Every structure is written in structure tokens, then in C-alpha cells.
Amino acid sequence: MRPGNENPYQTHDEPYGFMERELAFKLMASHALVDEAYFRWLREDPVAAADQLHIRLTDEDVKYLKGIVDWDSIEKVAFSVRESLHLDMVTNSW
């Protein structure tokens, strides 16, 4: 528990909880899979792309997105995912 934190359930030292981080990354990933422009933005400037969704990335998050994620492999399947979802039938956000 961080000094000065009265929450006995917070046992990690992150600016947000594990569940919040997991949800933030799922939101960014799903948005990137359905929106080609967001995919490119997240790949090129993860801090700004995350901020668009009101997500603040840590330095470790940025290292993960820039150095560990295999963007080329994701890009190979992203088009077929977008086509298979028929997004034009359920959303008008792009």
C-alpha cells in the first residue's frame, strides 16, 4: 500500500488499478481493430491516441506499446476483422 493511502485493498503501486489497466488496454485494442486510423495513431503516437480515449499511459505502458506489441502481425489480420464485423451496420463513428 502506498504511504498515505487508506485503501487497504490497493496493494500495487500503479497510478490505476489492475482492472482499470486491463480495461483501458482492451478498449484501445478493440478500437484499434475496428478503426484503421486509430490503429495507425496508436502505433505511431500511443500517448496521444490513448489520451483521445481519456486513458493516461505510464512510461511502462508506452514501452510495451512501442517495443513489445507486434503491430505488423496485428495489421495482417485487422482488415479481415473490420470486414467481418460489418461495422457500418452498428456504428457511424467513422
- Residue 55 reports pLDDT greater than 50: yes
Mean pLDDT of 67-78: 94
Domains of the chain, residue spans: 18-89
Q: What is the DSSP string of 40-94?
A: HHHHH-HHHHHHHTT-PPPHHHHHHHHHTS-HHHHHHHHHHHHHHHTGGGT----
Cα separation of 42 and 91, whole Å? Answer: 21
Q: What pLDDT digit, counting tens, does each position of 10-49 carry?
A: 555 555 677 888 999 999 998 898 888 999 999 999 999 9
**What's the confidence (pLDDT) of residue 16?**
65
Query: 87 is written with which cell numbers?
Result: 461495422
Mean pLDDT of 58-67: 94
